[in-house]
Copies of this chain bind each other. A is one copy, B any other.
Amino acid sequence: MPDIQAHSPVAVRDTSLRDGLQSIARTVPTAIKLQWLQALHAAGLRQIEVGSFVPPRLLPQLADTAELVQAACRLPGLEVTALVPNLRGAEAAMAAGAHVMLLPLSASHAHSLANLRKTPDDVVAELGRIRAARDAAGGSCRIELGISTAFGCTLQGAVAPAEVLRLLRQGLEAGADRVSLADTVGYADPLQVGRLFEAALRVAGERLTAAHFHDTRGLGAANVMAAWQAGIRGFDACVGGIGGCPHAPGASGNVATEDLAYLFGSMGVPTGLHFAALMALRDRIAGWLQDEPLHGAIWRAGLPKTFPTAGLAA
């Protein structure tokens, strides 16, 4: 265990407003989303993915993304991420003032064709066009290439690590400022995670900034640990563990932000997150989403008596 790194901080990026809400049919009113955003910031989140610049006819529940980006940019010290599926979305993200635009690329060809109607290499080519447009405009918005289905795919099954690494390399060459790897469907195991992140870090170094895990099969925390041990210090998560997987009915969603606050807090790893504030927001989300199931683990039993509070947000 890497004791020496135990106290280097970890950044949790909450993606409940994007990955969480995109998988829920109900449209949450913008006024509620603004409270949600404020509460995330008040709970110590300094990276938030607030929405997605996809056509509103595809995801009407995220049609107010530009307004959310603008509101988020007024919150002090916050890095604001928005998902963009293509150049058109990237232009909208830049116009709204997002700090990071996250371009998803599915390493599974089958998933890429089914989900984006493009091959992975088409997405790399689009990334090149986004980079050219960003540079031509003199913009400062960072381009993050998010490689999804990096650990397997419900359509295709296995995804070769060599293909993930090839796409990572191509994406960096095409102009990505940073990259991240996602276990979109909850297929990853900790050994696989350790191996792929170690290999990806050799390719991308510090430009590999985040790991994105779903807790579909109960290995979310174990996979976060494996990526952390490999050296990753950025993790996506959703308050309340929302963000389902349409291919795994009944499964839980993203790893829960409050569970990561507990995991890292227990180990003395600073996250800047306020546990009680996250739990209070979880309760509010339960009210806003009514019949949607929330997930996560720590909410059931609460913090242990031994949870270290000295020097950490309570």
Residues of A within 8 A of B (CB): 1, 3, 6, 152-154, 157-158, 185-187, 189-192, 194-195, 198, 215-219, 221-222, 224-226, 229, 245, 248-252, 259, 262-263, 266-268, 296-298, 300-302, 304-306
Residues of B within 8 A of A157 (CB): 305-306
Task: Find out whether the CB atom of A262 lies under 8 angstroms from the CB atom of B217.
Answer: yes
In whole angstroms, what is the CA distance A215 to B259 when docked?
Answer: 13
**Once the chains are docked, how many angstroms separate the CA of A132 from the CA of B197?**
53
A contact patch SS: loop
Q: Are A222 and B152 in contact (CB under 8 A)?
A: no
Partner of A187 from the list B3, B219, B249, B304 (CB cut-off 8 Å) is B304
The one of B152, B245, B304 in contact with A305, judged by C-beta atoms closer than 8 angstroms, is B152
Please list the 4 inter-chain residue pairs (A to B) with the smallest Cβ-Cβ separation, ordered nearest first.
A218-B297, A189-B266, A251-B301, A1-B194
Per the bound structure, the CA–CA distance linking A186 and B160 in Å amounts to 36
Query: What are 7 residue pairs bridging A and B, where the CB atoms are less than 8 Å apart in the complex?
Result: A1-B198, A3-B191, A158-B305, A158-B306, A218-B298, A219-B221, A249-B301
